[in-house]
């Protein structure tokens, strides 16, 4: 299902045929460094991760991480969308692009359209985004699409004293944005 279109991209829901793309994305060194190791080493596990991850989230909340594909030739180049996590009160924006599709402004195009979709289509008053402390590409992108740094926090339930995460937010209520 197509959710959003931008000048160069289409954002659509995941399906299990995206297993090879998803496995490539999560095994990218930048994903491992800034998001975490997923240990997805075969297509069956990748299909299960898609079913239990974005597809389950879409069924439960009506939003999830979407596949961003080039309108020109349908190549899947990254993911961008909304996530509801137990650890956060607010819905958060997430994104990741395959290395060869970074530095083209695709992530910014997708993040900007998804932020507008969060307000206009999902009716949210505010969304947040989390990054690791040194994820400069992600921080720069968030600032470009209108997020403001809010606070440092711990995302480690077992070691809450370890500050490992920056929280950004984007408010939609009139007069604040």
User: Which parts of this chain interact with ligand COA (CB under 6 A)?
Assistant: 30-31, 34-35, 95-97, 102-108, 131, 135, 137-138, 140-141
Looking at the Cβ atoms of 44 and 149, the one nearer to ligand COA is 149
Quote the tokens at residue 176: 């604040």
Least CB distance from residue 97 to ligand COA, whole Å? 4
Distance CA 48, CA 89 (A): 26
H/E element, 151 = strand 148-153
Least CB distance from residue 42 to ligand COA, whole Å? 22
Who's near 111: CB < 8 A, 6+ residues apart? 80, 93, 95, 141, 142, 145
Distance CA 170, CA 176 (A): 9
Least CB distance from residue 102 to ligand COA, whole Å? 4
Looking at the Cβ atoms of 59 and 87, the one nearer to ligand COA is 87
Looking at the Cβ atoms of 84 and 108, the one nearer to ligand COA is 108
């Amino acid at each position: 299902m197509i959710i959003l279109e931008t000048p160069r991209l289409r954002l659509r829901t995941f399906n299990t045929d995206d297993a090879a793309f998803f496995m490539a994305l999560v095994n990218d060194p930048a994903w491992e460094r800034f998001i975490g190791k997923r240990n997805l080493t075969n297509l069956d596990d990748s299909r299960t991760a898609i079913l239990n991850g974005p597809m389950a989230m879409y069924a439960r909340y009506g939003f999830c991480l979407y596949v961003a594909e080039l309108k020109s030739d349908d190549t899947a180049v990254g993911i961008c969308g909304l996530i509801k996590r137990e650890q956060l009160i607010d819905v958060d924006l997430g994104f990741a692009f395959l290395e060869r599709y970074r530095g083209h402004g695709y992530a910014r195009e997708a993040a900007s359209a998804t932020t507008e979709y969060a307000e206009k289509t999902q009716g949210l008053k505010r969304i947040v985004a989390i990054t690791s402390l040194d994820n400069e590409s992600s921080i720069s992108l968030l600032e470009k699409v209108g997020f403001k740094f809010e606070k440092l926090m711990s995302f480690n339930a077992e070691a809450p004293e370890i500050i490992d995460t920056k929280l950004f937010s984007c408010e939609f209520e009139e007069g604040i944005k």
